[in-house]
Structures are given as C-alpha cells and as structure tokens.
Amino acid sequence: MSETKELVTEALSDIAAYLPKLPSIIIVLGLGVFVIRFLQKAVVRLLRRLRLDDTLISFVNAFLTFACWVFLISIVFSILGFPQISVAFSGSIALILVGVASNANSMIQDLLAGIFLIADPDFKIGSYVKVNNIAGRVVKLDIKKTKIMDDEGNVHVISYKVFDSSVYTIETNGEHEE
C-alpha cells in the first residue's frame, strides 16, 4: 500500500510541476498554428504571384510546414524544461540534411529528378501519365514521390527516380477518356 501511495504522490508532484507551464504551452501552440497557417497562405500567394506552377508551390509549402512544425515542437519542449530534447528535435532538420549527404545517391537522385520533372510544364497535378506498367492521373506531388490514381481508383506511389530511370509518357492533348 505504501508503494502505491508513493507512486501516486510522485505522479501528482510531477503533474504539479508541469501544470503551471500548461497555459504557456497552449498559448505557444495556438500562436504557432496561427503563424504556420499564415506563412502557408503568404508563401502560396507569393509563389502564385511569381506565376510558379501549383506543383512547385505544393512542394515548397510541404517543406515549409514541416520545418515550422519541428520548430514549434522544439519550443514546446523548451517550455516544458527539456532543453536537450528541444535542441535534439530542432536539430532534426540538420540530421535530415546529414542523412541526405550520407545517403546521397538515393535521396539526391529523387530530389533532382523531382525538381526536373516538376519543372516540366506538362507534368503537373491532373496530368495523365504512364510510367512502367502504371497509367493514371497525377493526384499529388511530394518531395520524393508522385501519387498517381489509375482508372480503377487505385493510388500508386512512385518515386521520382523511377521516372528518371524509365521511359514515361505524359498525355498533353487531352484525348484520354475515363
């Protein structure tokens, strides 16, 4: 019985230590979500004014969102009094870059192939493409991959390096009937 009482007492003291920090965390999360949404909208507007393709805008927006959330979560850990976790979490972007450098063949090939593919004005969301044995409409473009929905409604996730190493077709004349 005394072990249970000690465990409950310890848990309550831990809760009491973090309870005063809860309002700060709620405010930071609320402001952070607001700032992230504002930045997303501002970046999309700016990139559209520059007349960039929606695909490239989506790509930049996804990376910006990821970086902002990593930063926001690291701030929350800092408020909670975990500076080591905060530094480690915010350092995850640096670790991703180190991973890219050490795993350069696959990752950089995907990124470069994706950049060149996205730069093609005929390859965009809504385009009808055929690569290997898969044919369908591009429904989403990501940092490393493309999602293609075939005529049966199946979504195929294809790495950009597959496009780079294969012969692919983009229908530009709009003749494909679904």
Q: What is the mean pLDDT of each run of 10 residues along the chain (178 residues)?
A: 78 78 90 94 88 75 82 86 73 65 62 77 87 90 85 90 82 60
Please say whether the beta carbons of 26 and 76 come within 8 A: no
User: Whole-angstrom Cα distance, residue 36 to residue 44?
Assistant: 12
**According to the model, what pLDDT value does residue 113 have?**
78
Kindly give the residue spans of alpha helices, DSSP state H, lying in the chain.
2-18, 22-49, 54-79, 83-90, 92-102, 104-119, 160-165
User: Whole-angstrom Cα distance, residue 24 to residue 79?
Assistant: 8
Enter the pTM of the model. 0.51
**According to the model, what pLDDT value does residue 107 have?**
61
User: Whole-angstrom Cα distance, residue 148 to residue 43?
Assistant: 26
Sketch the domain layout of the chain as residue ranges.
2-92, 113-171
**According to the model, what pLDDT value does residue 60 have?**
78
For the domain bounded by 113-171, which CATH number is listed?
2.30.30.60
Largest CA distance in the chain: 78
User: Whole-angstrom Cα distance, residue 174 to residue 150?
Assistant: 16
